């Protein structure tokens, strides 16, 4: 990486202010960053704790949501999910629509035991991460998205793809890394995950495959020394 973690934190604080929450790195490992805790329902009950500096480790035993266990890469997708998403949650018109989405997501199972979430100031380096996760307000998203657009003219430079909260944070980043892609992802639109995050929060994820480029452009983009961003920063 072109910028180490302490330097990134200093630049991030300079860009977004001292009140902006630090982002979270997430990565697979055979070593747990903390003792896994079994959570009934949505795994975001645990993931959000990383915002406060608590290391979080998930595994196939502690993730009890069948869909979440798959989207995190721990297990195959249970058959009931196709009808549950379409007929119970009514997020897709038909079970076939859900199945088509799953094929597009191309989720592959991990060979590692744990999925860890660690606030960036608790991490030692960028080695082996899948992505950098921001919990962001609309004003923060303005800065993060504009930073992502700075050196990428692709229409999907910032993407908002359908999926469960864990899909939009984890699965899309993992797939992007496999393909060496440059997309970043806005997520947490899923109504099922909304109760576990703040009313004014969405997620923004920079996959590891894109992160070196964005670290290199951080201090060159609008987040530094521009009148428009200074007005936004003042109210963050």
pLDDT of 31-59, one tens digit each?
A: 999 999 988 889 999 999 999 999 999 99
Nearest Cα to Cα of residue 211 among 137, 115, 134:
134
Residue 40 pLDDT:
85
CA–CA dist 162, 92 (Å, integer): 10
pLDDT of 60-73, one tens digit each?
A: 999 999 999 999 99
pTM of the model: 0.96
If you average pLDDT over residues 127-154, what whole number do you get?
98
pLDDT at 2 over 90: no
Reported for 45-51, long-range contacts at CB under 8 A and 24+ positions apart, including other chains, are 45/196, 46/117, 47/117, 47/169, 48/135, 48/196, 48/197, 50/24, 50/117, 50/118, 50/119, 51/21, 51/22, 51/24, 51/119, 51/135
pLDDT at 1 over 80: no
The rounded percent of the chain whose pLDDT value lies above 70 is 100
CB 37 within 8 A of CB 132: no
**Could you tell me whether strands 131-136 and 24-29 are parallel, antiparallel, or unpaired per DSSP bridges?**
antiparallel
Residue 90 pLDDT:
96
């Amino acid at each position: 990486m072109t910028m180490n973690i302490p330097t990134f934190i200093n630049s991030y604080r300079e860009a977004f202010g001292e009140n902006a929450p630090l982002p979270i790195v997430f990565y697979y490992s055979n070593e747990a960053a903390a003792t896994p805790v079994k959570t009934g329902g949505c795994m975001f009950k645990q993931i959000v704790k990383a915002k406060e500096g608590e290391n979080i480790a998930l595994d196939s035993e502690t993730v009890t949501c069948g869909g979440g266990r798959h989207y995190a890469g721990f297990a195959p997708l249970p058959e009931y999910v196709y009808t549950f998403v379409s007929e119970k949650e009514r997020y897709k018109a038909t079970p076939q629509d859900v199945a088509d989405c799953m094929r597009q997501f191309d989720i592959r199972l991990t060979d590692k035991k744990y999925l860890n979430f660690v606030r960036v100031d608790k991490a030692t380096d960028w080695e082996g991460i899948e992505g950098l996760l921001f919990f962001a307000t609309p004003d923060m998203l303005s800065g993060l998205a504009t930073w992502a657009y700075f050196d990428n003219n692709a229409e999907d430079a910032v993407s908002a793809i359908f999926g469960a909260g864990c899909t939009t944070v984890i699965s899309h980043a993992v797939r992007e890394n496999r393909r060496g892609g440059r997309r970043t992802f806005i997520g947490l639109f899923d109504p099922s995950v909304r109760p576990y995050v703040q009313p004014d929060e969405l997620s923004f994820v920079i996959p590891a495959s894109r992160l070196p480029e964005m670290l290199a452009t951080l201090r060159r983009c609008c987040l530094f020394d521009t009148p428009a961003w200074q007005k936004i920063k003042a109210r963050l």
